[in-house]
Amino acid sequence: MKKEIHPTYYSDAKIICACGNIMTTGSTLKEIRVEICSACHPFYTGKEKLIDTAGRVDRFKKMKELQKTVGATRRGRTAKRQASTTKKLEKERAKAKAEMNAPEVKVKKAPAKKAAVKK
């Protein structure tokens, strides 16, 4: 190994958890602070524990409730397209009906100009 290019290695580095658990290990950092460790993690303890950072769990639950209420009233793309197509067809039918009921206007042709005859 080359000298003076590697970070300092601490064989007695401490890992400190938010629950108060302290472990000793080797690291390039003298002290490491973590939010969760094996002593308080739900997978290892078998207890369900919700860690709510900045209200994320509450926000998630609120979004799920909104999805249930709005999902029942919301129409999908297909329904919107069908409604749009139906409106367009109704407009075209109304326009065609109006054209059929409109009186025909006779267009008079302008008299043709007589060409000058040369002698």
Q: What CATH number is given to the structural domain containing 22?
A: 4.10.80.400
Confidence label for 104 from pLDDT (cuts 50, 70 and 90) = low
- What is the Cα–Cα distance from 39 to 16, expressed in whole angstroms? 11
Among 12-21, 66-75, 88-97, 105-114, the range with the most confident prediction by mean pLDDT is 12-21
- What is the Cα–Cα distance from 61 to 71, expressed in whole angstroms? 15
Q: Give domain status of residue 85, yes or no.
A: no
Q: Give domain status of residue 118, yes or no.
A: no
Q: Is 67 exposed, middle or buried (0-12, 13-18, 19+ CB in 10 A)?
A: exposed
Helix (H/G/I), strand (E/B), else coil: 12:
strand
Q: Is the separation of the CB atoms in 28 and 9 below 8 Å?
A: yes
Domain residues for the domain of 26 are 10-76
Q: Give domain status of residue 96, yes or no.
A: no
Sign of CA dihedral 55, 58, 62, 67: positive
Q: Give domain status of residue 52, yes or no.
A: yes
Confidence label for 88 from pLDDT (cuts 50, 70 and 90) = very high
Q: Give domain status of residue 113, yes or no.
A: no
What integer pLDDT is reported at residue 76 of this predicted model?
Answer: 74
